[in-house]
């Protein structure tokens, strides 16, 4: 199962080393956070490239299988590393999608002029027609401006 990971199991703790050239400290922290309900976790640098992870039982009565826990930890570490890579790879497209979604809420000069006209037309401050409410503001008031710009 985890033959290529060197770990040491003592009475109430387990220690193993992770190479931080393979896994980032951010991925390691996120992984450790997922396990803090069951065990105490200590992270410490062994040298420039190795981080020692120490698992300690929270309670003496806990029946924890450290060998299984190390395997689950390493699998979750891989999962978090992949999530971090995907997040980094898709950052630009997510920003574009968010910008496009928020762009529809931006008022330009046409919108500001129309706001004044709407205030004058509707003293109550709301529109009673439900079909108009479902229509975007730009579609309702800026059709002529958009046609002239094209």
Taking only the tens place, the pLDDT of each residue in 64-76 is 889 899 999 999 9
- pLDDT, averaged across the chain: 80
User: What pLDDT sits at residue 81?
Assistant: 95
User: Domain spans of the chain?
Assistant: 7-94, 107-149
pLDDT of residue 143 exceeding 80, the answer is no
Q: 7-94 maps to which CATH number? A: 3.30.70
Taking only the tens place, the pLDDT of each residue in 17-75 is 999 899 999 999 999 999 999 899 999 999 999 999 999 998 877 788 898 999 999 99
Q: Is residue 43 a contact partner of residue 32, using CB atoms and an 8 Å limit?
A: yes
User: What pLDDT sits at residue 1?
Assistant: 43
Q: Which residues of 92-120 are buried (b: 16+ CB within 10 A; e: fewer)?
A: eeeeeeeeeeeeeeeeeeeeeebeeeeee
């Amino acid at each position: 199962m985890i033959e290529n990971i060197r770990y040491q199991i003592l009475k109430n703790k387990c220690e193993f080393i992770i190479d931080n050239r393979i896994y980032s400290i951010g991925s390691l922290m996120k992984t450790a956070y997922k396990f803090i309900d069951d065990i105490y976790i200590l992270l410490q640098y062994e040298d420039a490239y190795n981080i020692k992870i120490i698992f300690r039982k929270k309670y003496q009565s806990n029946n924890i299988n450290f060998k299984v826990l190390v395997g689950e930890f390493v699998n979750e570490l891989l999962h978090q590393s992949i999530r971090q890579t995907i997040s980094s790879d898709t950052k630009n497209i997510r920003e574009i999608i968010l910008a496009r979604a928020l762009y529809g809420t931006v008022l330009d000069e046409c919108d500001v002029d129309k706001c004044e006209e709407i205030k004058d037309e509707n003293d109550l401050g709301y529109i009673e027609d439900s079909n108009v409410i479902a229509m975007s503001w730009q579609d309702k008031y800026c059709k002529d401006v958009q046609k002239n710009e094209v």
